[in-house]
Amino acid sequence: MKEAKHAVVELPTVLVGIAVFYNLPGSTSSVRLSGPVLADIYLGKTTSWNDPELVRLNPDVKLPDLPIKVLHRTDGKGSNYIFSDFLSKVSPEFRAKVGKSVSPKWPVGAAFSQCPDMLAKAAKTPGAVAYAELRCGEKSELSIARIRNAAGEFVRPSTKSFGETALAMESKIMDDFRVSLTNAQGKDSYPIVSFTWFYVPVHTQDLQRSHAVNEYLTWVYGSGQEIAQAQGYAAVPPAVLQKVRAKVAALH
């Protein structure tokens, strides 16, 4: 993000989670993946679905001898940042070679600007693996992997498991709200989760505009949270929401 010309406050809005989608013909069980294995896939080191480490993680699944076709997003995507933040935490090699960024320099894979285009390609490509916000792909025919969290549990992405992640991190969310939620502790936490954000000027000379922004934010953190949940997003946890509302009330 470019440096702001004026002081801004960062306000979390809703929770989003990045799901890992895959195309394995004939597979009926949800594949289990760990962060280090995902990192090796996106580093181009793990190239087959019957790789020994994948087989070890999935003793009850018959994995085919099929090349892994890596798909990823183009530069400047928020899903890139969340996904690469998680992989950087669980793989020192990934952190050193790629790192966390909205524009990672992926060593392998085909790039897609639009999430629907990427998932459509994955649906037509046996062996494909891709990552995207859960809401973008849950209506697709692709399977969704369960991801190992910091507690060693394999968790499926859902609004419930996203909420569990935020609750597990609640005590670490300070008044400036700057916190990474990836790879959070907690038995039921999904490990690839983030807030989405508003960036709001702390002071403005335009009082009419300031009043309008304040009214909008009051709505966002009131009935707007209920609407977001109805649309499939996970809401900000109550204790965090209380802090956000206090911050909004202090803006002028």
Which contiguous run of DSSP H or E holds residue 223? Answer: helix 223-230
50-76 pLDDT per residue, tens: 999 999 999 999 999 999 999 999 999
Distances 91 to 41, 186, 191, 224 between C-alpha atoms, Å:
12, 20, 14, 37
Please give the average per-residue pLDDT across 240-252, as a whole number: 84
* Measured distance CA(149)–CA(212) in Å, rounded: 41
In the chain, what is the straight-line distance between the N-terminal and C-terminal CA atoms, in Å? Answer: 24
- Strands 69-73 and 128-133, bridge-based pairing: parallel
* Measured distance CA(5)–CA(58) in Å, rounded: 50
Q: Is the pLDDT of residue 22 over 60?
A: yes
139-183 pLDDT per residue, tens: 888 999 999 999 999 999 999 999 999 888 887 777 778 889 999
Residues of the chain with CATH 3.40.190.10: 18-155
DSSP 3-state helix, strand, coil percentages of the chain (rounded to 5)?
35, 20, 45
Phi then psi for residue 60, to 5 deg, are -100, 5
Three-state secondary structure call for residue 208: helix
Task: Mention every residue, 6+ apart, whose C-beta is less than 8 A from residue 42.
Answer: 70, 72, 87, 94, 98, 106, 107, 108, 109
Q: Read off the pTM.
A: 0.90
- The fold of the 18-155 domain, in CATH, is D-Maltodextrin-Binding Protein; domain 2 (3.40.190)
